[in-house]
Amino acid sequence: MAKLTRDDVLKLAQLARISLSDDEVTEFSEELSAILQYVEQLSAVDVSGLVSTNQVTGLTNVMREDSIKDYGYAPLDLLKNVPKTQDNQLKVKRMIG
Amino acid sequence: MASEDTRRQYTVTIGIECHVQFKTKTKLFSAADNDAREAAPNTLVNHIDFGLPGALPVLNKEAVRLACRAAFALNSEPQKFSKFDRKHYFYPDLPMGYQITQFDEPIVLGGSIAIEVAGERKTIGITRAHMESDAGKSTHPAGGDYSLVDLNRAGTPLLEIVSEPDMHSAAEAKAYARELWLRMKYADVSEANLYYGNMRFDVNVSVSKTDQLGTRTETKNLNSFRSIERAVDYEVERQIQVLEDGGEIVQETRGWDDTGLKTFSQRTKEDAHDYRYMPDPDLPPIVLEQSYIDEIKASMPALPDDYRRILSEIGIDAKTTSDIIAVPDTAMTIKHVYEAAGGPHAKRVAFWLLQPQSDDGEAGTETEVKAPEEQLIKLSQMVEGNKLSSTAAKEVLAEVLKTGKDPEVVAAEKNLLQVSDEGEIAKIVAQVLADNAKAAEDVKNGEMKAIGFLVGQVMKLSQGKANPALATDLIKKQLGM
Mapping DSSP onto H, E and C, the string for B405-431 reads CCHHHHHHHCCCCCECCHHHHHHHHHH
Average pLDDT over residues B103-109: 97
Nearest C-alpha of chain B: how many angstroms from A72? 10
Asked if A65 has any chain B CB less than 8 Å from its own CB, the reply is yes
pLDDT the model gives residue B73: 97
pLDDT at B200 over 80: yes
Do A96 and B267 lie within an 8 Å CB cutoff?
A: yes
Average pLDDT over residues B111-130: 95
Do B284 and A57 lie within an 8 Å CB cutoff?
A: yes
Main-chain dihedrals φ then ψ at residue B16, nearest 5 degrees: -125, 135
Asked if A1 has any chain B CB less than 8 Å from its own CB, the reply is no
Most confident of B91-100, B123-132, B264-273, B393-402: B123-132
Nearest C-alpha of chain A: how many angstroms from B137? 10
Q: Which of B89-93, B171-175, B269-273 has the lowest mean pLDDT?
A: B269-273
Asked if A19 has any chain B CB less than 8 Å from its own CB, the reply is no
Do A92 and B25 lie within an 8 Å CB cutoff?
A: no
Do A75 and B92 lie within an 8 Å CB cutoff?
A: no
Domain limits for position A19: 6-44
Contact by Cβ (8 Å): B161, B274: no
Q: Which of A45-54, B8-17, B456-465 has the lowest mean pLDDT?
A: B456-465
pLDDT digits (tens, 9 = 90+) for B202-215: 999 999 999 999 99
Main-chain dihedrals φ then ψ at residue B476, nearest 5 degrees: -60, -45
Residue B288: pLDDT band by 50, 70, 90 thresholds? very high
Please check whether residue A96 lies inside any domain of the structure.
no
Asked if A6 has any chain B CB less than 8 Å from its own CB, the reply is no
DSSP string, chain A: --PPPHHHHHHHHHHTT----HHHHHHHHHHHHHHHHHHGGGGGS--TTPPP---SS-----EE-S-----SS-GGGGGGGSS-EETTEEEEE----
pLDDT at B481 over 90: no
pLDDT the model gives residue B224: 92
pLDDT the model gives residue B267: 65
Residue B350: pLDDT band by 50, 70, 90 thresholds? confident
**Number of helical H runs and strand E runs in chain B:** 16, 17
Please check whether residue A33 lies inside any domain of the structure.
yes
Q: What is the mean pLDDT of chain B?
A: 87
pLDDT at A2 over 70: no
Do B61 and A66 lie within an 8 Å CB cutoff?
A: yes
Q: What is the mean pLDDT of chain A?
A: 90
pLDDT the model gives residue B100: 97
pLDDT at B21 over 70: yes
Contact by Cβ (8 Å): B340, B376: no
Average pLDDT over residues B14-29: 97
Do B42 and A78 lie within an 8 Å CB cutoff?
A: yes
Residue B468: pLDDT band by 50, 70, 90 thresholds? confident
pLDDT at B296 over 80: yes
Please check whether residue A15 lies inside any domain of the structure.
yes
CA dihedral B404, B405, B408, B409 (to 10 degrees): -160
* Domains along the sequence of chain B with CATH: 4-290 (no CATH), 301-413 (no CATH), 422-478 (1.10.10.410)
Average pLDDT over residues B410-439: 75
Query: Which candidate in B26, B90, B276 is best for mutational testing of the A interface (most A CBs within 10 A)?
Result: B26
pLDDT at B407 over 90: no
What residues of A are in contact with residue B140 (Cβ under 8 Å)?
Answer: 94-97
pLDDT the model gives residue B370: 60
pLDDT at B273 over 50: yes
> Which CATH number fits the domain that encloses residue A30?
1.10.20
Average pLDDT over residues B395-404: 76
pLDDT at B364 over 50: no
Do A89 and B42 lie within an 8 Å CB cutoff?
A: yes
What residues of A are in contact with residue B149 (Cβ under 8 Å)?
Answer: 89-92
- ipTM for the predicted complex: 0.86
pLDDT at B427 over 70: yes
Do A94 and B146 lie within an 8 Å CB cutoff?
A: yes
More confident residue, A8 or B2: A8
Do B42 and A92 lie within an 8 Å CB cutoff?
A: no
Asked if A62 has any chain B CB less than 8 Å from its own CB, the reply is yes
Angle at which helices A22-39 and A6-15 cross, to 10°: 90
pLDDT the model gives residue B365: 41
Who among B26, B63, B270 is closest to A68 (CB)? B26
More confident residue, B441 or A81: A81
pLDDT digits (tens, 9 = 90+) for B31-76: 999 998 889 999 999 999 998 989 999 999 999 999 999 999 999 9
Radius of gyration of chain B, Cα coordinates, nearest whole angstrom: 29
Asked if A95 has any chain B CB less than 8 Å from its own CB, the reply is yes
pLDDT at B360 over 70: no
Nearest C-alpha of chain B: how many angstroms from A48? 19
A and B: number of Cβ contacts within 8 A: 127
> pTM of the prediction?
0.82
pLDDT digits (tens, 9 = 90+) for B153-194: 999 999 999 999 999 999 999 999 999 999 999 999 999 988
Domain count for chain A: 1
Query: Which candidate in B149, B263, B270, B291 is best for mutational testing of the A interface (most A CBs within 10 A)?
Result: B149
Q: Chain A residue with minimal CA distance to B50?
A: A78
Q: Chain A residue with minimal CA distance to B276?
A: A15
